[in-house]
Amino acid sequence: MKLWYVSALCFYALGICSPLFAAKRPAVSNVLAHFAAVLGSLALLGLSLTIITGNGETLRFAWFAPLGDILVTLDGLSALFLLALGVVGTAASIYAVGYTKEYYGHRFASMASLYNAFLLSIVLVLTVSQVFYFIIAWETMTLVSFFLVNHEFEKAGNTKAAYQYILMTHVGTAFIVAAFLILSSSVESLDFAGLAGAQLPGGLRNLVFACALLGFGTKAGVIPMHVWLPEAHPAAPSHVSALMSGVMIKTAIYGMCRFFLEFLGTGPQWWGVVVLALAIVSSVLGVLYACVQHDLKRLLAYHSVENIGIILLGVGSGMVFMSRGQALPAALAWMAALYHVFNHAVFKSLLFLGAGSVLHGSGTKDIEHMGGLIKRMPVTALLFLIGAVAISALPPLSGFVSEWLTFQSMFHLPAAMSGLLGKLWAVILIALLGLTGALAGACFVKVVGVTFLAKPRSAGAAKAHEAPVSMLAGMAGLAAVCVAAGVCPQWMLAVVGRAVAGLKGVDSAGMLAQSDWLTTMLPLGSGGDSLAMPFVAVLLLAGCLMALGFARLAGKAKVVTGETWTCGIVPTARMEYSATGFTEPIRRVFKAILRPVVEIKAEKEPNPYHGVRMTFSVHITNIFNEWIYNPLCEGVMFLAENFKRIQGGSLQVYIGYIMVFTVIVLIVSNRG
């Protein structure tokens, strides 16, 4: 186990160093760095598989370091996240070999090196179990990804996005540090094992909960702390976006698991309710904003906000069940959340890599300028479609399984809530999750339809080219995992069950007791709630084959090619339904939230009877910036302006300040 771990770290370290030696020859450093990253990620896969198939032992070891030993813990929870990182890391690194060729001559060596450092820091975050080094690893992860987000600083907006990202996450880190400091000062331990089950007075305990939720919530992109996410993820190179969206924001979920499951343990019910409220806001608003986006990568970033919401719905339900002492539903809810962590890591990376291929092939991120790419990039289109079906939670792919588990766990939420209002609220939560699923479906119909189908809408799209084999191979691996985790969920269920096994208030063994390879049986309610994904897949396939059979039975039908009827005019791409048009009904129904501002401009011509050129644009108001962040910024600037007056530049005044301050300190300290 330790060997796998050390070799993964060594490969990544090698990957960090190698491009710097061959900086003059990018082709060499490309192969070296990404080959090392692939090896490191494969070693991670080996590591997580060893932990998962092992006998449930936790490996703990310490390395000597000047500021205290570095403690490393490899347990089931780490293994699950490492598995996700291993899968996504392998695929993204293979993909990067082809994708990063565009960056030759654009600080390529530093990018390849930082990419490895990013992977390395995520591994450390997921395994280091000592407060001090955890925070260092956490900070390293943030800083490295900051440089990756800012890599293409020539492009307008990227630097702003990067600074917004680092500012927001640093505020988050402050909260995390506060949470850790309160905890470790009260139990006088920096070791995670010592923090587990810490006995704190109620008020402090709530404070730790709030700090952890705010801190990790910022990194996860929970609304309203999400504003950095849709800016930073699109700015990074696509293979990095895949890692950021797929794995990095999940490290926040990992942190929450550590805090809410291990350190704090079972809390009062309102903790769960608060998490649920944040979760539902994130999922519904996340998907709504995604629906009205046309920048492919930003759209995917908003879907990350949505999916973090879905994960947190599981987390919040789990906390409510734990507070009620219901170990079985709690296990189901946590398992659902963790399963969705893995699934989202896989399909979101697949989609981001797909978006990268599209960008690489057509040169644009705006889906309104794409179209018809399925003909020019058939493999990318197929793989992207698989990701889209998975993220829309449609059977038989992976997204459906974890969403089904989330639904099933939330089904028992009304019974755990007190009062009629609480019960109705819980039911409405489930309906809103249903709404989220439906909106995600609508959004991905738009993405797939407008990006890949029909006629190309721009010259770039018409001349698009398929991605090289390495990029396709990386995506194909992820697509295969999407299918496998959907059709045969049992193995992954056992993995997530093991991740939360042995924790107080969660009975994952009991939850899985009645399941076998075919059927997931939930021992809850009046019984009988089950899911047999292999069977579902077979039934769906049988249905399709039946349709084929009926078509055959009816005899031979000739397929005639005929141009789309457009009332006698030659059809062009301008007659196609646009992405803006496709989501117009949704924009209209949810206008209270989205606040679209429509602008129609008509160019005046001397002759009013000739056609005038009309331009239509719609702008979605970012209420979070307008209501929260802009006033906050203004407040900070106002304070700064006023504090400036103190700084007069005269030395005497400064000495005066020091004297006044010393006197105050003396008075205060004498009192104490």
Tokens of 55: 């006998």
Nearest approach, Cβ of residue 84 and other proteins (Å): 24
Query: Does the footprint of other proteins cover residue 169 (CB under 8 A)?
Result: no
Integer Cα distance of 468 and 267 in angstroms? 51
E strand intervals along 81-179: none
Contact (CB, 8 A) for 206 and 183: no
Nearest to 184 by CA among 132, 110, 222, 237: 132
Nearest approach, Cβ of residue 357 and other proteins (Å): 17
Nearest approach, Cβ of residue 514 and other proteins (Å): 11
Sole binder of other proteins in the list 149, 296, 335, 531 (CB under 8 A) = 531
Sole binder of other proteins in the list 519, 622, 624, 625 (CB under 8 A) = 519
The stretch near other proteins (CB under 8 A) out of 78-86, 343-351, 472-480, 541-549 is 541-549
C-alpha dihedral, 530 to 344 to 295 to 594, nearest 10°:
60
Measure CA 452 to chain center. 24
Query: Does the footprint of other proteins cover residue 547 (CB under 8 A)?
Result: yes
Nearest approach, Cβ of residue 582 and other proteins (Å): 4
Burial of 520 (0-12, 13-18, 19+ CB in 10 A): buried
Sole binder of other proteins in the list 175, 499, 582, 594 (CB under 8 A) = 582
With vertex at residue 83, the alpha carbon angle to CA 80 and CA 84, rounded to the nearest 5 degrees, is: 95
The stretch near other proteins (CB under 8 A) out of 231-239, 525-533, 627-635, 636-644 is 525-533
Contact (CB, 8 A) for 195 and 189: yes
Query: Does the footprint of other proteins cover residue 554 (CB under 8 A)?
Result: yes
> Which of helix, strand or coil describes residue 625?
helix
For 4-16, letters b (16+ CB in 10 Å) and e give: bbebbbebbebbb
Sole binder of other proteins in the list 589, 632, 639, 655 (CB under 8 A) = 589
Nearest approach, Cβ of residue 57 and other proteins (Å): 35
Q: Please list the residues that pair with 59 across neighbouring strands.
A: 74
Residues of span 66-95 touching other proteins by CB under 8 A: none
Nearest to 367 by CA among 297, 301, 439, 440: 297
Write the interaction track for other proteins spanning residues 346-385; mark x where CB under 8 A is met and - where it is not: --------------------------x-xx-----x---x
Nearer to other proteins, 470 or 530 (CB): 530
Sole binder of other proteins in the list 53, 185, 514, 566 (CB under 8 A) = 566
Nearest approach, Cβ of residue 280 and other proteins (Å): 12
For 630-659, letters b (16+ CB in 10 Å) and e give: eeeeeeeeeeeeeeeeeeeeeeeeeeeeee
Cis peptide before 224 (omega within 30 of 0): yes
Residues of span 616-635 touching other proteins by CB under 8 A: none
- Report CA torsion sign: 185, 189, 195, 197: negative
Query: Does the footprint of other proteins cover residue 418 (CB under 8 A)?
Result: no
The stretch near other proteins (CB under 8 A) out of 195-203, 298-306, 394-402, 463-471 is 394-402
Query: Does the footprint of other proteins cover residue 493 (CB under 8 A)?
Result: no
Sole binder of other proteins in the list 469, 542, 659, 666 (CB under 8 A) = 542
Nearer to other proteins, 215 or 372 (CB): 372
Query: Does the footprint of other proteins cover residue 408 (CB under 8 A)?
Result: yes
Query: Does the footprint of other proteins cover residue 544 (CB under 8 A)?
Result: yes
Write the interaction track for other proteins spanning residues 425-464; mark x where CB under 8 A is met and - where it is not: --xx-xxx-xx-xxx-xx-xxx-xxx-xxxx---------
The stretch near other proteins (CB under 8 A) out of 14-22, 249-257, 539-547, 639-647 is 539-547
